[in-house]
Amino acid sequence: METWLSYRPADLIMFSPEIYVRLFERLNLAAWPVQLLLPALAAGIVLLANSRHPHAHRLAATGLAAAWGMAAWWFFPLYAEINLAAPWLATLFAAQSLLLLLVAAGSGLRLDRRSVTWWPGLALLLWGMALHPLAGLATGRGVAGAELFALAPDPTAIATLGIVLMAHGPGRWRLTILPLAWCAISAATWWSLLSQGT
Amino acid sequence: MGNTPYLPGRRRLLRLAGGALAGGALPRAVRPVDARSTTDTITTRTIPASGERLPVIGMGTWITFNVGKDEAARDRRTQVLRTFLERGGRLVDSSPMYGSSEAVIGHALEQLEDRHDLFAASKVWTPSGSEGRSQIERSERLWGIERFDLMQIHNLVAWEEHMDTLLAMRESGHLRYVGITTSHGRRHGDIERIMREHPIDFVQASYSLANRAVEERILPLARERGIAFIANRPFQGGRLIDRVKRHSLPGWAAEAGMRNWAEFLLKFIVAHPAVTCAIPATSRVEHMQENMDALTGRLPDEALRRRMVEHVRGL
């Protein structure tokens, strides 16, 4: 354990930034034409959660569970080619998908404008569903490697945090644990990749 | 074994010498690749256990060859390996811990018309001693080779169990050499103890112009015990070469025959008399060309090495 603790996160990253970015291009190629359905899925989750009908809230949670399941299904097999820890990380996404299905079996996800975290939640939701895919363009990565909600893990986790912050109910915080864990892992990965030498 | 230097048996020496000659391990002129290298003779070092000679620049594959099934990236790594072998390199080092690197090496070797004198080095990396042999066999399949020249115990993971397996495989002729590895300056005390007490042929540790900890005890011990030394992380994972490349190469280095910073940093390492081979890793052909420049031309003497240290310290 002492030996492991002496490693920096950057020492444990076993792939280069180039190959990690290429992973999203390969993901989009492998998943095509699923991308055409993603805007409808994203909009549907938000509209259903914003509805007044309990059935719609359950469908919203089911839709979000599907988004996590899709990311686990499409992204992590590719990631496992270059990261020995990917199968373990995929279980985070599968577990969040199951958790959301449990919520769907209960009262579902209902947005609540009176929530004190409504505005931060809305900002995260917009970031995850709309701006994050475009962020890559600003860094010169190109549209082919855009990270899309429900396929790529980062926008899926970010948008989920947004929805949960906008939602009603005291138990909603349980749904933030795994997305926050993934965001921390992803941030550490990017930080380590960017600190790699050439 | 105590403190008695390990001397390989006569039968083993004969077998190793046979393998060395069959592998064309004696110094030779570099194959024509570019005008610069056509007449140069590559620098080699002797593996003490056998007398076989090895070019002083090898190739590491940590990060750089872990590209998964990305066909475009695999093609580029094939070009990197081709350049390495055509410029006279032999030792390619990998590990099951490096993700898809071993599979990518195997793919690249399959594409090459000529494997030249490849010296295949990998590692055993599993906490279970009973899984060591099957992991090695899997690595052989991934590389597409019948046997490894060198098998090392990665970062001393379960080293006591693996040592017995590797020594038995060497004795049976399935491996030519056995080694141990560490990196980032870790567990040097254990490394020293194993070097003293076990009949290993190679030791691998981090050594660069900015990390010279092995000069204190490991390198002198390697010489004393007749153990070949492989220097990993010669550019400190790229950070060292990125730092020095912000500056121009000093005139005195150019006068000493060094053409670029990679050659500067690598020649510092391989000029140490106890170093057998340095294993820089790269994913780019142009960087491989620069690395292989260190394989030819004269090496710095001790006074010049001291100057190199002072210069880089001041950058």
CB B111 within 8 A of CB B141: no
pTM of the predicted model as reported, rounded to 2 decimal places: 0.89
Per-residue pLDDT 10s for chain B (315 aa) are 333 334 445 445 555 555 544 444 433 334 333 333 334 699 999 999 999 999 999 999 999 999 999 999 999 999 999 999 999 999 999 999 999 999 999 999 999 988 889 999 999 999 999 999 999 999 999 999 999 999 999 999 999 999 999 999 999 999 999 999 999 888 999 999 999 999 999 999 999 999 999 999 999 999 999 999 999 999 999 999 999 999 999 999 999 999 999 999 999 999 999 999 999 999 999 999 999 999 999 999 999 999 999 999 999
**Per-residue DSSP letters for B54-89?**
EESB-B--TTTT--TT-HHHHHHHHHHHHHHHHTT-
Using a CB-CB distance cutoff of 8 angstroms, which residues of chain A are in contact with residue B67?
15, 19, 22, 82
Is A126's Cβ below 8 Å from some Cβ in B?
A: no
Contact B99 A15 (CB under 8 A): yes
Kindly report the number of other CB atoms within 10 A of residue A34's CB atom.
15
H-state helical runs in A1-151: 2-5, 9-12, 17-31, 38-49, 54-79, 86-105, 118-126, 132-138
Contact A10 B237 (CB under 8 A): yes
ipTM score here? Answer: 0.91
DSSP state of A34: G
Half-sphere exposure of residue B3, counting CA atoms within 13 Å on the CB side? 2
Locate the chain B residue with the closest alpha carbon to A22.
Answer: B70
Cα separations (Å) of B242 from A198, B122, B245, B262, B293? 7, 27, 5, 10, 18
Locate the chain B residue with the closest alpha carbon to A78.
Answer: B68
**Which residue reads 């002072």 in tokens?**
B310
Query: Which strand (E) or helix (H) includes residue B308?
Result: helix B302-313
Kindly report the number of other CB atoms within 10 A of residue B313's CB atom.
9
Q: Which of B293, B296, B303, B299 is nearest to B256 (CA)?
A: B299
Interface test with B, best of A5, A12, A19 (most B CBs within 10 A): A19
List, for residues A167-188, the tens digit of each pLDDT value.
Answer: 987 778 999 999 999 999 999 9
Distance CA B262, CA A99 (A): 52
Contact B67 A19 (CB under 8 A): yes
What percentage of residues in chain A have a pLDDT greater than 70? 94
User: What is the SS3 assignment for B279?
Assistant: coil
For A84, which of B99, B241, B283 is closest by C-beta distance? B99
Q: What is the mean pLDDT of residues A49-64?
A: 96
Domain spans of chain A? 32-194
pLDDT at A3: 52
* A185: closest CA of chain B, how far (Å): 19
Using a CB-CB distance cutoff of 8 angstroms, which residues of chain A are in contact with residue B60?
none
Is A198's Cβ below 8 Å from some Cβ in B?
A: yes
Distance CA B77, CA B66 (A): 10
Contact A18 B66 (CB under 8 A): no
Is B138's Cβ below 8 Å from some Cβ in A?
A: no
